[in-house]
Structure 1
Amino acid sequence: MSTIKKRKTLDDYFLNKPSKQSKTSNVPKLPREHESIPGLRILTDFVTAEEEQGLLTFLDQQEWRTDLARRVIHYGGTYCLMPPRTATAEERKRIENTILTAHPMPNQLDFIVSRMIGHGLYTNANRPEYCIVNEYKDRQGISAHVENFRFISPVCAVTLSQGDWMRFHELTKADDGSVRSGKASKAEKTGRVKDVWMPRKSLLVMEGEAREKWQHEIVRSKRGRTAPDWRRISLTFRTDKDK
């Protein structure tokens, strides 16, 4: 009994054809930019659950700065710190003029840096030299700001423990309004606001407009009701332009 050959269609030639890239590279493509914020990307599952737990265990054993609005660790070179909100004018001036020596980037973070280089976000020549670790508890956030222009693009942040929302405000023009500059609240906005979900174990990538023309903030009220032990740990990586 003869069998009838099904006539091939265009779908047979293209839909199931293996891509050349899959044969030559194991590094996944970066996801497309956020539909409303040019230069913003979220890489989900950037670290595994096992890697996440290892990082949390390591960080919980470190010495945290506790005199600010939230717990913080600074790694890499030197870094200027924000004075606490309760500081007097005299204390604020003294703290803002003080440069503290931070511990070098620990080996435990090397795999994250190498993975970002593997994705083409950085190169070995401009690998991140700074990392700020922030711990956000239930009622803690951070005010709207743009990353300091002393750092190159991109600025990348890993989210651990719990996911959270980041709110973006479009500015009328690029503005170097970092938290420490004191200018952030004066930047002129267009009125466009976008809320972006940062999943646990993801990497947030900000470059181009997302990094220079959109302020970002963590709005504590956006979370709604959380468990008493809720917390998000963020690791934000930066490279100085003068490196």
Structure 2
Amino acid sequence: MSENEQLKHYKLGDEKSVFYIQDFITAKEHEELIKNIYNQEEVKWTQLSNRRLQNHGGIPHEKGMIAYPLPKWLSSVSNDLVKQWKVFGEERYPNHVLINEYESQQGIMAHKDGPVYEPIVCILSLESGIIISFRKEDEKEHSFSVYLEPRSMLIFTEDIFDKYLHDIDFQDHIHINQEQNILNLDQLEDIKIGDVIPRKRRISLTYRIVKKTINKSKWIRL
């Protein structure tokens, strides 16, 4: 991702390819997204052992994703990422949105997003806050963390995408401590070292570009 003048002001600490934007969407937009996520009769949740999810745009696959248009209610965030923040470059739009629902004790194991995606990840958080932690692939200890507030956008790319794993723990509370190295701690008005915060349900919307896609009509003809 080429640096742009607006986004660089939201860079976290010394990490050149991690950006955090508070209040990326309004409270009204937040409620509209929640309403649409839970009012989708045509969309079924996929239940996993530690969370459930929705795929929008298709199911990513190394051989190619059969591409479907994203729902219109997801387009406002896409448009802002592209037109206002120029995250994906010149008029390149995300073609896949993964919606994860985490209950209070649910998280996700350390992982990388993988080579099927362009190396740019945009995570919009809804409903409640959480800590996402990063560590280098060949290390056991976390290098840094970010506290994701409701309505915030986290963007990471380049070396953080390629060389770091990220995870969310499986505790029913968040204990804020110095060892976590929370890069945006100074931006959190009501949160400080030593706080213990009960976890509630959190929803994340992850916007990405799947590199290889297959047009639906072409797939049907085959």
Same fold, TM-score > 0.5, yes or no? yes
CA distance in 1, matches of 2:65, 2:91: 25
CA distance in 2, matches of 1:220, 1:158: 20
**Is 2:202 the partner of 1:232?**
yes
1:217 matched to which residue of 2? 167
2:133 matched to which residue of 1? 167
For residues 109-144 of structure 1, give each alpha carbon's deviation from its aligned partner in whole angstroms, at most 9, with x where no partner exists: 111001001201024643100000000111100000
User: Which residues of 2 match residues 77-92 of structure 1 at below 5 A?
Assistant: 77-80=58-61
**Is 2:153 the partner of 1:203?**
yes
CA distance in 2, matches of 1:164, 1:123: 29
Q: Helix, strand or coil: the match of 1:78?
A: coil
The answer for unaligned runs of 5 or more in structure 2 is 176-196, 214-222
1:111 matched to which residue of 2? 76
| Distance of aligned partners of 1:100 and 1:30 in 2 relative to their CA distance in 1, 3 Å threshold | closer
The one of 48, 51, 54 equivalent to 2:29 is 51
Q: Is the 8 A contact 2:65 2:212 kept in 1?
A: no
**Is 2:47 the partner of 1:67?**
yes
The CA deviation at 1:61 is: 1.0
Q: CA RMSD in A?
A: 2.7
The answer for unaligned runs of 5 or more in structure 1 is 1-26, 81-96, 172-187
2:19 matched to which residue of 1? 41
For residues 82-104 of structure 1, give each alpha carbon's deviation from its aligned partner in whole angstroms, at most 9, with x where no partner exists: xxxxxxxxxxxxxxx9x996863
Q: Is the 8 A contact 2:65 2:210 kept in 1?
A: no
CA distance in 1, matches of 2:17, 2:135: 14
1:4 matched to which residue of 2? none
Q: Is the 8 A contact 1:166 1:198 kept in 2?
A: yes
User: Which residues of 2 match residues 110-149 of structure 1 at below 5 A?
Assistant: 110-117=75-82, 118-123=84-89, 125-149=91-115
| Distance of aligned partners of 1:148 and 1:104 in 2 relative to their CA distance in 1, 3 Å threshold | same
**Is 2:1 the partner of 1:31?**
no
Instruction: Give the percent of matched residue pairs that are identical in Structure 1 and Structure 2.
Output: 25
Instruction: Figure out how many residues of one structure are paired with residues of the other and give that number.
Output: 183
Q: Helix, strand or coil: the match of 1:134?
A: strand
Q: Is the 8 A contact 1:31 1:42 kept in 2?
A: no
The CA deviation at 1:66 is: 4.0
The CA deviation at 1:154 is: 1.3
> Which range is displaced more, 192-201 or 122-131?
122-131
Q: Helix, strand or coil: the match of 1:47?
A: coil
CA distance in 2, matches of 1:65, 1:136: 13
CA distance in 1, matches of 2:93, 2:29: 20
Task: Report which of the two structures shows the higher radius of gyration computed on alpha carbons.
Answer: 1
Give TM-score scaled by structure 2 length: 0.73
Q: Is the 8 A contact 1:30 1:43 kept in 2?
A: no
